[in-house]
C-alpha cells in the first residue's frame, strides 16, 4: 500500500496569496486519497497574513493559524496534518524560500526576530535544533525574486525538484542541482487553492506517524516523487 503526502500547502489563514481555507485544503486532499499534508504557510518575511509590528507571540499564532485550522479539520475527517513553514528572505535573498519542517511553536517563541536572519544563519539555527530545510522552487523567476537560483547546497537537506507552478525548464534545473550535489529530492504542489490540489508530493511505503518519518524517508531517498 502507498501513502501519499503533500509537502507544500498554503492556506488563506496564514498566506496572503492563499485563496482557500485550511479546512477546504484538507478536504480537497482527503478526496484525492492522500494520507497527509504539510502546511507550509509563508513566514513573516514572506507573503504572510500577519501584520507587521505585532508582539512576537501574537505574530507566531497568526503564522501558524492555517496549520491549527487544518489540524482541527484533519482530525475530524481522518487526514494527517503536519507543521512546516516557508521562510523568506530580505535584500539579495528576497523571494528565495525555504520549506522548514520538524520544528514548532516552542522554537519560534524562543527566537524572536527570526525573520531578520539571513539564510545562512537561519539554516544553521534550524539545523542546530534538529529541523529540516528544503529549498522551494529554486529556479523560479518572478519579479519579487531578487536573485533567482539555489542557495549554498551545504545549507540544504533537500531540494524541491518538482513544483506544479514552475515550468519544466525550472524544475529540470532544480533536479540537475540536486543531482550535482547529491541532495535528496522532493516534489510539491505549492497549492494556494483547493483547485490546485493535484496528485503530487511524495509517496511512502509506510504510513508516517510524525513529520520526522517523512523527513527520514526524504533524506534516505526512500520516497517516490509524485509528478
pLDDT tens track for 54-76: 999 999 999 999 999 999 999 99
Query: Between these two residues, 224 and 144, which has the higher pLDDT value?
Result: 224
pLDDT, averaged across the chain: 97
Beta strands at 158-163 and 132-135: parallel, antiparallel or unpaired: parallel
Share of the chain above pLDDT 90, in %: 96
* 1: pLDDT strictly greater than 90: no
* Contacts for 118-127: CB closer than 8 Å, 24+ residues apart: 118/89, 118/90, 118/93, 119/87, 119/89, 119/93, 119/151, 119/155, 120/151, 120/152, 120/155, 122/87, 122/98, 123/98, 123/151, 123/155, 123/156, 124/155, 126/100
Give the Å distances, CA to CA, from 10 to 16, 34, 98, 169, 221: 9, 16, 14, 24, 25
Which cell numbers hold the place of 14? 496564514
* 37: pLDDT strictly greater than 90: yes
Q: What integer pLDDT is reported at residue 199 of this predicted model?
A: 83
Share of the chain above pLDDT 70, in %: 100
Residues 145-151 have a mean pLDDT of: 95
* Contacts for 169-172: CB closer than 8 Å, 24+ residues apart: 169/139, 170/137, 170/139, 170/140, 170/141, 171/139
Beta strands at 80-87 and 36-42: parallel, antiparallel or unpaired: parallel
Residues 84-96 have a mean pLDDT of: 95
Q: What integer pLDDT is reported at residue 198 of this predicted model?
A: 81
Question: What are the residue boundaries of the structural domains of the chain, listed by start?
Answer: 3-226
Q: How confident is the model at residue 196 (pLDDT cuts 50, 70, 90)?
A: confident
Q: pTM for the complete prediction?
A: 0.97
Under CATH, what is the fold of the domain 3-226? TIM Barrel (3.20.20)
Amino acid at each position: 500500500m502507498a501513502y501519499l503526502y503533500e509537502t507544500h500547502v498554503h492556506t488563506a489563514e496564514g498566506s496572503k496569496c492563499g485563496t482557500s481555507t485550511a479546512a477546504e485544503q484538507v478536504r480537497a486532499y482527503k478526496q484525492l486519497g492522500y494520507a497527509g499534508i504539510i502546511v507550509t504557510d509563508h513566514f513573516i518575511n514572506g507573503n504572510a497574513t500577519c501584520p507587521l509590528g505585532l508582539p512576537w507571540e501574537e505574530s507566531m499564532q497568526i503564522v501558524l493559524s492555517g496549520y491549527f485550522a487544518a489540524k482541527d479539520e484533519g482530525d475530524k475527517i481522518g487526514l494527517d496534518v503536519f507543521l512546516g513553514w516557508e521562510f523568506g528572505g530580505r535584500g539579495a535573498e528576497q523571494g528565495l524560500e525555504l520549506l522548514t519542517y520538524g520544528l514548532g511553536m516552542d522554537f519560534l517563541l524562543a527566537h524572536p526576530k527570526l525573520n531578520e536572519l539571513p539564510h545562512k544563519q537561519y539554516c544553521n539555527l534550524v539545523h542546530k535544533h534538529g529541523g529540516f530545510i528544503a529549498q522551494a522552487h529554486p529556479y523560479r523567476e518572478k519579479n519579487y525574486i531578487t536573485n533567482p537560483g539555489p542557495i549554498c547546497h551545504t545549507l540544504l537537506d533537500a531540494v524541491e525538484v518538482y513544483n506544479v507552478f514552475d515550468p519544466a525548464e525550472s524544475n529540470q534545473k532544480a533536479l540537475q542541482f540536486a543531482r550535482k550535489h547529491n541532495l535528496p529530492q522532493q516534489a510539491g504542489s505549492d497549492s494556494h487553492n483547493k483547485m490546485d490540489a493535484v496528485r503530487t508530493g511524495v509517496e511512502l511505503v509506510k504510513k508516517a506517524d510524525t513529520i520526522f518519518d517523512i523527513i527520514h524517508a526524504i533524506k534516505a531517498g526512500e520516497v517516490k516523487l509524485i509528478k
